[in-house]
Structure 1
Amino acid sequence: MRNRPIATGSKTRARLTAALLSACLPFAAHAVEPEIRTDDVERFYALYNAADGHPSVAQLDEYLAQGSPSLKEFAQLRRVTGERIAAQIAADPAMYRNARQCLALLPKVKRRVATALRKLGELYPQSTFPPVAIVVGRGKPVGITNPSGVTVGLEALCAADFMNPDPEDRFVRVIAHEYAHIQQPFAALDLPEGDPRVNVLSMSLTEGGAEFVAELIAGGVANPGLAGRVRGQEQAVGEAFLREQDKTDFSQWMFNYKKGSDAPYDQGYWVGYRIARAYYRRADDKRAALAEILRMPDPKAFLTQSGWTPGQ
Structure 2
Amino acid sequence: MKRISTIILSLVFASAFSQKSAKIFTSDIDNFWVAYDSIQKTNDHTQKLALIKKLYTDKGTPGLKAFMKARDYNDTVFVNIIEKYPKFLNSIRPNTLTIKTKTNELEASIIKLKEIYPDLKEAEMYFTIGGLNSGGTVSGKMVLVGAELATGLPSTDISELKDEWLKSVFAMQSLDNIVSLNVHEYIHTQQTGDRRRVLSQSIKEGACDLMAELVMNKPLERKYLSYGAAHTAEVKNLFKKEMFTGNFTNWLYNGRQKGESADLGYYIGYEICKSYYRNAKDKKKAVKDIIELNYNNDKAVEDFLTRSKFFTEKIDKQKLISEYEKNLPYVVKTDPANGTVNVNADIKEIRITFSKEMVPGNYSFNLSDKGKEYMPITKVIGMENGDKTLVLGVDLKPGKEYEFVITNKSFASKDGYPLKDENLLIKFKTGNK
TM-score in terms of structure 2 length: 0.58
Q: Which residue of 1 aligns with 2:275?
A: 278
* Other-structure match for 1:104: 97
1:215 offset after TM fit, Å? 0.4
Matches within 5 A, 1:9-158: 32-33=20-21, 35-52=23-40, 56-62=48-54, 63-158=56-151
1:294–1:169 CA distance, 2 compared to 1 (3 A): same
User: Is the contact made by 1:164 and 1:223 (CA closer than 8 Å) also made in structure 2?
Assistant: no
Is the CA contact 2:187–2:291 (under 8 Å) kept in the aligned structure 1? yes
Amino acid at match of 1:60: I
The answer on whether the counterparts of 2:28 and 2:61 sit within 8 Å (CA) in structure 1 is yes
CA contact (8 A) 1:164 1:170 kept: no
Counterpart residue identity of residue 172, structure 1: V
**C-alpha distance in structure 1 between counterparts of 2:212 and 2:170, whole Å:** 14
Given that 2:136 and 2:185 are in contact with CA atoms closer than 8 Å, whether structure 1 keeps it comes out as no
Answer yes or no: is 1:168 the counterpart of 2:160: no
Q: 1:284 to 1:164 in 2, by over 3 A?
A: farther
Structure 2 letter corresponding to 1:282: N
Is the 2:172–2:223 contact (alpha carbons within 8 Å) kept by the matching residues of 1?
A: no
- Give the partner amino acid of 1:57: L
Secondary structure (helix, strand or coil) at the match of 1:167 reads: coil
Kindly state the Cα deviation for residue 239 of structure 1 after the two structures are TM-superposed: 1.1
Query: Which range is displaced more, 220-229 or 268-277?
Result: 220-229
Matches within 5 A, 1:199-214: 199-214=197-212
Mean Cα displacement is larger for which, 214-223 or 274-283? 214-223
Structure 1: runs of 5+ lacking an equivalent: 1-27, 190-196
What is the aligned partner in structure 2 of residue 305 from structure 1? 307
SS of corresponding position for 1:277: helix
The superposition leaves residues 1-35 of structure 1 with CA deviations (integer Å, 9 ceiling, x where unpaired) of xxxxxxxxxxxxxxxxxxxxxxxxxxx99973462
| 1:132 alignment partner, SS class | strand
More strand by share: 2
Q: CA deviation at 1:205?
A: 0.3
2: CA distance, partners of 1:305 / 1:210: 19
Which TM-score applies when normalising by structure 1? Answer: 0.79
CA apart distance, 1:163: 6.4
Contact 1:214-1:221 at 8 Å conserved across structures = no
3-state secondary structure, aligned to 2:230: coil
| Distance 1:220-1:93 versus aligned 2 partners, 3 A rule | farther
Deviation at 1:277, TM superposition (A): 0.5
Give the secondary structure class of the aligned counterpart of 1:293. helix
Following TM superposition, by how much is the alpha carbon of 1:241 offset from its aligned partner in structure 2, in angstroms?
0.9
What corresponds to 1:9 in structure 2? none
- SS of residue paired to 2:176: helix
Q: What is the rounded CA distance, in whole Å, between the counterparts of 2:169 and 2:27 in structure 1?
A: 27
Classify the secondary structure of the residue corresponding to 2:126.
Answer: strand
- Structure index of larger Rg: 2
User: What is the CA distance between 1:235 and its match in structure 2?
Assistant: 0.3
Counterpart AA for 2:201: M
Is the CA contact 1:64–1:82 (under 8 Å) kept in the aligned structure 2?
A: yes
* 1:171-250 correspondence runs (5 A): 171-186=178-193, 189=194, 197-220=195-218, 224-250=222-248
Aligned length: 273
* 2: CA distance, partners of 1:68 / 1:227: 34
The corresponding residue for 1:8 is none
Structure 2: gaps (5+ residues): 1-15, 153-165, 295-299, 313-433
